[in-house]
């Protein structure tokens, strides 16, 4: 599968916006995971997909259909835009807007919530490097940063996340 660069993600999201029909309030798409870090911070050159979900569950089907048309047009896999990471989002702490058109507003979550998602997943070296980058974007001492992260931890994953956070903090900022 071809990896998605920042330029290719932006082009696909602009095409997605053009596929969304209808007047009224634009559809909100919340991008998380690696794609959010590519778009926000140029964290890495590519990502395998765009983890995203709608801020309004009623628009999910419309987004899936539009994403399918974009996949066909750009030669992307059918799951280039998927909501698999939604399960790691506990609450919504809306962050910066990444792209805004009349039909689509693409945003991400706050760095604290993105970090919480990475700490709860904590699967591989990519999660560790992404978490390290997110931590670097968060000012404050250990307690202040943890206070921004803790409300967004998945129930049942708090312990795993707290151990991951402790390891990450010590490695990056010392005890």
Characterize the bridge pairing of strands 81-82 and 94-100: unpaired
Same domain, 103 and 125: no
Give the tens place of pLDDT for each residue, 22-75: 777 899 999 999 999 999 998 888 888 999 999 787 888 889 999 999 999 999
Domain with 153, as residue range(s), is: 112-173
Average pLDDT over residues 124-135: 90
How much is the pTM?
0.92
Helix (H) or strand (E) holding 175: none
Same-domain pairing of 55 and 128: no
Euclidean distance between CA atoms 119 and 123, whole angstroms: 9
Per-residue confidence (pLDDT) for residue 1, from 0 to 100: 57
Position 127 confidence tier, pLDDT thresholds 50, 70, 90: confident
Mean pLDDT of the chain: 92
Do 143 and 74 belong together in one domain?
no
Residue 156: is its pLDDT beyond 80? Answer: yes
Residue 123 and residue 104 share a domain: no
Task: Give me the pLDDT at residue 23, please.
Answer: 72
- Which residues, 6+ apart, have CB-to-CB distance to 18 below 8 Å? 101, 103
């Amino acid at each position: 599968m071809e990896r998605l660069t920042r330029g290719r993600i932006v082009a696909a999201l602009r095409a997605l916006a053009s596929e969304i029909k209808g007047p009224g309030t634009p559809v909100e798409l919340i991008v998380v995971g690696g794609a959010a870090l590519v778009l926000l911070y140029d964290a890495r050159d590519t990502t395998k997909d765009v983890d995203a979900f709608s801020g309004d569950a009623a628009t999910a089907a419309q987004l899936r259909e539009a994403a399918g048309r974009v996949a066909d047009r750009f030669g992307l896999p059918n799951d280039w835009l998927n909501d698999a990471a939604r399960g790691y989002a506990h609450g919504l702490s809306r962050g910066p807007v990444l792209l805004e058109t009349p039909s689509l507003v693409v945003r991400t979550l706050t760095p604290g919530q993105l970090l919480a998602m990475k700490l709860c997943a904590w699967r591989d070296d990519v999660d560790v490097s992404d978490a390290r980058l997110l931590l670097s974007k968060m000012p404050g001492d250990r307690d202040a940063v943890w206070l921004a992260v803790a409300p967004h931890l998945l129930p049942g994953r708090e312990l795993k996340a707290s151990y991951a956070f402790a390891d990450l903090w010590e490695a990056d900022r010392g005890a």
